[in-house]
Amino acid sequence: MRISKNLIFKIIVLIILLFLPWTFSSQNKATEYPIINTETVPFYQSNLCEISLYKFLEINKVVEFDIKLDTPAEIKCFGKINGGDTISQKNTIYLGTNINIDALLQSGFWLILLTFIPKSKNVNIKFKNLIALSLSFLVYFHLLNEIGFYSFYSKTFFVNISESFTIYSLSLTVFIFLRVFLEIIESRYNNLIYFFPFSFLIVGTFNSLNLNFYLLVVSSIGIIGIFKNKSFKYSSIIYIFLVIIWISLIETNFEFFDVDKVKGFISSAYSMETIIFWSLIYLLFVFGVINLINDSLNNFNIEKLKNSFLYSGSLIILFSYLSTLGPIYNFYTYYYLGLNKTAIKTTQSVAGNAWRGISSSAETVGEFYTFVIIFTILINFFISQKKLTNIEIILLVINFYGLYKSNNFSAFISGLLVLIISVIFLKINNQKTKRILSLFAILLLPIGLYIFANNTIFKESARNMIKTGLEISLLEDLSENQYGKNAIEQNRFLEILENESNQDNISSSLKFLVNKYHYSDRNYIPNITSTISTVATTINRTEKWGIFFGKYDPNLTSLLFGTGVSHLANYYYSHPTTVNQGLVLPHSSFLSYLLFFGIFGVTAFIIFYIKLILKNRNNIPFLLISLFVVINLTKNDSILYVNSFFLLIFVINFYKFKTLKEI
Amino acid sequence: MNKNIVKICGESDIIPDFEKIGNDPNFVFRVDPDYVKNTLYDLEGNSIIVNSWLECANYVNGGWISDIIETNLIDTYLFYGLLSISFSILIFDIFKKFKTV
């Protein structure tokens, strides 16, 4: 096999980007540095910014330590040891990173990886400079308005140009990398879609920016789409009205919201400016994905996409294990894969027996593995109609192993349901029997739920959620009876609701649910409160949804239209409860979108999807993967991650691919 | 007066006579308890802690700098570097367009 000079050059550049930034020491003091232990930690605390990470590793070959990042370090301290500490009896070093260098290094690394995508027919992209320039202005606007987040990540983050150039350097970096991106994809455009499953491996979140690589590059494709797609223009007009409503609903600005593991796709503040930025970038991203799919419809090879899914899932497992080998591997996967959260450091499962590996959520990655499995099987059974190859079987087994480690039971059950229905469709020839059996399989879930909920043993499940909601509310006068039980524990919810001192402390959504529970003829299913609560109990969401309703305090307009896409700060802070620390997500993509788009938006989405499904009712692969995705959207926040959102848009548009046979 | 003095040492009403300080080998800088200690560096990487505005101004006048200035310098170089690359891209594209017309 001949290896081209170009390939060797790219590999050399990748190696340089991987190792060189972490090898520069300030002075030749390395030999004087002691091996890190509890006694020498103070030495590391007082000798900052001198030795590089690799010098440190050379000195500390045999000792155990942990690496934490000192993200606000100055440029000269990038890649150097910038502090030390003993945390939970473990010696920890702080490795200096810098916002400017992070943006340059990470985007450069990912762009080089993009050049490995095989070339396709050349596509002429017009206005490349204009597209890159407009997005860099948008990023500049974003940087200006999320000062709270960026001040935390950089010591030199000042809006005034006389004080610091950081903000301007970052905008220029974005311009350059987007311009280079557009140049790279011109010759690879038609092959891009095959590589999107790798966004679950290379997540693309910048270390110290509240931005994601894919969000920016796909948005640039979105701008290309606006020029040629009329429906994009019309939907933008409706969207503008929605943005105006969101802006009009702002009562208090919030300068800082800790985005934690949803960094890169959720605003770290709440203001008119952040609503404008996130609404725009969200829309451009959606347009970008749709445009990419539309442009890839001709000559689309579904086998290539299937292989990408299989390899991506397997590589996630590989890199997850690699991350457990030591702190340096853990740091490398975090930094160069652009993870939202550092990978898990052990191969042992933790809370809830789930193992998330490099993913920031065990549930999301479990869903992904299941998707890979059902997608592969569906493609092989329904489209290619051929047996799995040995390599495919090995890769499938690895993905099965990933699913087992992630311990995502609901993804497993929903995946199994999809596979059962697909077997029904493959093995049974009679159309009527096919439909009846499939309907029965689908209805098993709600029927089971109904029986479960109305069983006297489980009646408690009907009120569990409102109990949790009330428990986190800041309630007064919760006196206890002679057995030490308060009004919540005694299920005296209406009494709590009617207590005047509690009026402002109970959220409007919780008040609604409690009222519905008490003033209905029937306390059990189909009572709305009991239904939601029982579903929550069955899928282990009682606590999370209880917290959600305890905090969700909309007025009529925000209930109808939401408070803005990618904004959680208003929901999180405007109604104080006992849960105001740490990131507690709604744990349902539908609930998250209820916050963003309100009932109007969620209903519009459901109607749109139902219509799409009815229109394509003979397209079984499309129906089955849609069923799987919708079930999992109910109980997971995955839509708050860029890659899962990309996958959702892909699934919604999956019917467009001509290679799908109607069965 | 050196413009870096205000940047590094802060504002002061004192009008320093650097010539006099330089010519007096016995000149001693008095510690100002109200002055927040500042660390300065020379080009060889040596550091010194100054305890008064006058001492700080004297060293800055002699070419010593602080972290702030050093950081700003790297920041500035990076910015101009990126700006040059951006302009080069734009100019290259304009030339390319002219060539194809």
| pLDDT for position A142 | 96
- Look at A165 and B75 and tell me if their CB atoms are within 8 Å: yes
CA distances from A314 to A197, A344, A378, A643, B22 (A): 11, 17, 18, 16, 70
- Nearest CB to B89; choose among A76, A100, A176: A176
Q: What is the pLDDT of residues B5-21, one digit of tens each?
A: 887 888 888 888 888 88
| pLDDT for position A519 | 75
- Region A427-444 average pLDDT: 75
Gyration radius from chain B CA atoms: 21
Position A173 pLDDT exceeds 90:
yes
Mutate to test the interface with A, among B46, B70, B76, B79 (most CBs of A within 10 A): B79
How far does CA A50 lie from the centroid of its chain? 37
Q: What is the pLDDT of residues A535-549, one digit of tens each?
A: 887 777 888 899 999
Q: Which of A73-77, A265-269, A449-453 is least confident?
A: A449-453
Q: Report the alpha-carbon distance of residue A263 to residue A212 in Å, rounded.
A: 8
- Region A549-570 average pLDDT: 94
- Look at A173 and B82 and tell me if their CB atoms are within 8 Å: yes
Q: Report the alpha-carbon distance of residue A548 to residue A564 in Å, rounded.
A: 17
- The pLDDT-based confidence of A197 (bands split at 50, 70, 90) is very high
Nearest CA in chain B to A167: B79
Selection from A189, A512, A205 nearest residue A337 by Cα: A205
Place of tokens 């904004």: A567
DSSP structural state of residue A597:
H
Position A29 pLDDT exceeds 70:
no
- Look at A75 and B74 and tell me if their CB atoms are within 8 Å: yes
The single-letter code of the amino acid at A70 is D
Size of interface A-B (CB pairs under 8 A): 47
| pLDDT for position A300 | 87
Position B70 pLDDT exceeds 90:
no
- Region B21-31 average pLDDT: 82
Q: Report the alpha-carbon distance of residue A645 to residue A579 in Å, rounded.
A: 27
Buried b (16+ CB within 10 A) or exposed e, A244-278: ebbeebbeeebbbbebebbbbbbbbbbbebbbbbb
Highest mean pLDDT among A74-78, A407-411, A609-613, B30-34 belongs to A609-613
* Distance (Å) from the alpha carbon of B81 to chain A's nearest alpha carbon: 9
| pLDDT for position A543 | 85
| Strand, coil or helix: A87 | strand
- Nearest CB to A165; choose among B45, B70, B79: B79
Mutate to test the interface with A, among B6, B74, B91, B100 (most CBs of A within 10 A): B74
- Look at B67 and A175 and tell me if their CB atoms are within 8 Å: no
Q: Report the alpha-carbon distance of residue A630 to residue A607 in Å, rounded.
A: 13
| pLDDT for position A128 | 93
- Look at B74 and A165 and tell me if their CB atoms are within 8 Å: no
- Nearest CB to B79; choose among A26, A74, A169: A169
Residues of A at the B interface (Cβ-Cβ below 8 Å)? 26-27, 74-76, 100, 128-129, 155-156, 164-166, 168-169, 172-173, 175-176, 179
Q: Where are the domains of chain A?
A: 22-96, 100-189+209-295, 301-407
Name the average pLDDT for chain A. 88
Place of tokens 């935390």: A152
Gyration radius from chain A CA atoms: 26
B94 close to A (CB below 8 A): no
Please state, as a whole number, how many other Cβ atoms lie within 10 Å of the Cβ of residue B72.
20
Q: What is the pLDDT of residues A141-159, one digit of tens each?
A: 999 999 999 988 887 777 7
**Bigger pLDDT: A27 vs B35:** B35
- Look at A74 and B45 and tell me if their CB atoms are within 8 Å: no
| pLDDT for position A661 | 47
Position A274 pLDDT exceeds 80:
yes
B88 close to A (CB below 8 A): no
Q: Where are the domains of chain B?
A: 1-65, 67-101
Contact residues on chain B for A129, CB-CB shorter than 8 A: 89-90, 93
- Nearest CB to B82; choose among A27, A156, A172: A172
| pLDDT for position B87 | 95
- Look at B45 and A129 and tell me if their CB atoms are within 8 Å: no
- Look at A179 and B70 and tell me if their CB atoms are within 8 Å: no
Structure tokens, A241: 């009205």
Nearest CA in chain B to A73: B71
**Cα within 13 Å of Cα(A511), Cβ side:** 14
CA distances from A538 to A195, A530, B41 (A): 36, 12, 65
Selection from A68, A75, A335, A17 nearest residue A206 by Cα: A335
| pLDDT for position A108 | 97
* Distance (Å) from the alpha carbon of A217 to chain B's nearest alpha carbon: 18
DSSP B20-69: HHHH-TT--PPP-TTSPPEEEE-TTS-EEEE-SHHHHHHHHHTT-B-HHH
Which percentage of chain A shows pLDDT scores above 70?
Answer: 93
* Distance (Å) from the alpha carbon of A169 to chain B's nearest alpha carbon: 5
B92 close to A (CB below 8 A): no
Contact residues on chain A for B89, CB-CB shorter than 8 A: 129, 176, 179
B70 close to A (CB below 8 A): yes
* Distance (Å) from the alpha carbon of B44 to chain A's nearest alpha carbon: 11
Q: What is the pLDDT of residues A346-379, one digit of tens each?
A: 888 765 668 899 998 888 999 999 999 999 998 8
| pLDDT for position A402 | 95
- Look at A76 and B82 and tell me if their CB atoms are within 8 Å: no
